[in-house]
A and B are shown apart, each in its own frame.
Chain A
Amino acid sequence: MGRPAFRRSRGDGPFRFASTAAGVALLAIMAAIGVFLVVKAVPALQANTSHFLTELTWQPNATKPAFGIGALAFGTAMSSLLALIIATPVAIGVALFISHYAPRGLASVLGYIVDLLAAVPSVVYGLWGVTFLVPFVQGPWEFLNTYFGWIPLFGGDQVVGRSMLTAGLVLAIMILPIIAAISREVFLQAPKMQEEAALALGATRWEMIRMSVLPFGRPGVISAAMLGLGRAMGETIAVALIFPATFTISFRILGPNGNSIAANIANGFGEATPIGTGALIASGLVLFLITLLVNMGARFVIARRKEYARAAA
């Protein structure tokens, strides 16, 4: 920024070099993550007697290793989507509450309270989920099954607390603060003149929000939801404690099934053979690539709109 001093000092070169090198090092780390995961995944993939992308079971530790990402990828996608469906409407409500409804003086304090949700470690949500939430939701889930069982998602003969929907609920709580925080920043940047114009023309608060805040904020909310989706897919320990760790593909979200790539890594690592570890690394590579795509998509949407520059951080 700006032109430096007239004469170059001897310290300038090294300092400039060091700071540039640090930046390049970050890029190198991102590349190295991909490279080393591939390096350690390849031997396991070569030993695999089944097809990695379509196989459902996970038996990499057997003498004839057979494992595939199928059921795990399904579980990751399903639980994250459930989390997104639950969290996004609530997060938009929270963001509107803090940006347009809460009293001025209280807004920042209330925003801080929501941010605190993000400060609770993942493992604590897992402990809370498995000891409190799992027994607690048994009743409500049975209610859903009894009265809304005609919807395929809620159908099935078995209803358990440790189900896909419970994991989705815990994930929703964990990604809510990030979606709410970014949406809030975007809503706060909606053009004040438009808002005041709408109010001056006699619009109610909701009409003002619908006409000026929401259209302005839509791309921001979409990318916030995508960031939340990426976070939910990578979330490990909380769901590792909740999922029953099955290897099936089932849309019965109340039934005793559910697993995810990340949860499988946490649960399977302890007893993994070298091939087993390689298989877990291969599944981690898939997770890395998916979250990379989702995050890059989200950042691209934010970066394209200059007005959002502040929210992007």
Chain B
Amino acid sequence: MTVETGIRPISGSRRAKDKIVQGLVYLAFALAVIPLVSVLWLVVKNGIGRFDLTFLTHSMRNIGARDAGGGAYHAIIGTLEQVLLASLIAVPVGLLTAVYLVEYSSGGRLARVISFFVDVMTGVPSVVSGLFILAFWVLVLGQGYSGFAGGLALSILMMPVVVRAAEEMLRLVPHELREASYALGVPKWRTIVKVVLPTAFTGIVTGVMLAVARVAGETAPLLLTVFITDSINTDPFSGPQMGLPLFVFDQAQRPNVTAVDRAWTGALTLILIVMLLNLVARLITWWRSPAKRGS
């Protein structure tokens, strides 16, 4: 015996519309993944051929236009130094700004203005940060092109990312921890340094790693501040350097197959470094996530 519910099945046209939209949504996801797969596949396929010891340990010095061989050692050294310098500037400034926003400002006007401009700063085009350092550091102060100038340009791109990541993590620190510390008579700054920051530490490290990964692939600011060289320059404070993204850009513009092959291998190396940083960041989050610690 069936109960008469009065509910009629969904009409055909409504059902069809629902299915069509579902199809479109699945299609959109597929469309988004296709370029990713294509890029990664081609980078691995075209890059693996020259991904050898010569590439990782030699520079482009005395390598002629048509010569095979040569490598990106100078570019790898440059990228590591530039990104390290950028982090040394951006991380303290970003972290302190986050501390101000979360711990010291009580939602006043200055805090809202800073918070708004941190968001706006994430949208500053990378080429503009390069032009700024070019105008300010290279031209007005006359400091010349150097790895350090590149680090300055990258640090501007890193700062807002670090602020946002650190701010989010500081806000997650339970208020009871701060209050317990105050109750024991610990001054505010020691509470922040000894209680709040250590609690948020892993989250902040993750955010910094993601910020580093973001700037490690930037080309435009380096082009304007570091310039381009084929030789090894281990001193980031004087003379032009190379960077891995610059190396790819430089080689990609040369009309020879050997150069384009080097560009692909440079791209592969760059993606490996960026993905490694991303992966390490995710692993740190996963390893020390609050859910896993059961709190």
Contacts and interface: CB of A to CB of B under 8 A. Distances in A.
Interface residues of B, number: 108
B114 to A, nearest CB: 4
Nearest to A110: B29
A193 interface: no
Report which residue of B24, B123, B167, B274 has the largest number of chain A beta carbons within 10 angstroms of its beta carbon.
B123
Given A32-B132, A241-B249, 4 more contacts: A9-B190, A97-B28, A237-B220, A241-B252
B247 to A, nearest CB: 9
B103 A1 contact: yes
Contacts of B53: none
A304 B136 CA distance: 35
A171 B206 CA distance: 28
Interface stretch (A47-55, A65-73, A111-119, A137-145): A111-119
Contact of B175 (A2, A5, A6, A19): A2
Nearest 6 A/B pairs, CB to CB: A234-B125, A93-B28, A121-B217, A9-B187, A22-B96, A295-B123
B128 A33 contact: yes
Most buried by A among B10, B31, B264: B31
Contacts of A39: 135, 140
A8 to B, nearest CB: 7
B268 to A, nearest CB: 9
A207 B19 CA distance: 11
B135 A127 contact: no
A30 B270 contact: no
8 contacts: A15-B188, A19-B99, A19-B103, A22-B95, A23-B101, A24-B110, A33-B129, A235-B125
A304 to B, nearest CB: 12
Contacts of A235: 125
Contact of A22 (B100, B252, B264): B100
A94 interface: yes
B131 A27 contact: no
B28 A299 contact: no
A25 interface: yes
A230 B123 contact: yes
B35 A117 contact: yes
B32 A90 contact: yes
A265 B110 CA distance: 35
Nearest to B264: A127
Contact of B248 (A2, A24, A124): A124
Interface string B151-179: 00000100110011001100000010011
A112 B278 CA distance: 11
Interface stretch (B37-45, B80-88, B230-238): B37-45
B186 interface: yes
B273 to A, nearest CB: 10
Given A12-B187, A96-B25, A127-B248, A291 B125 contact: yes
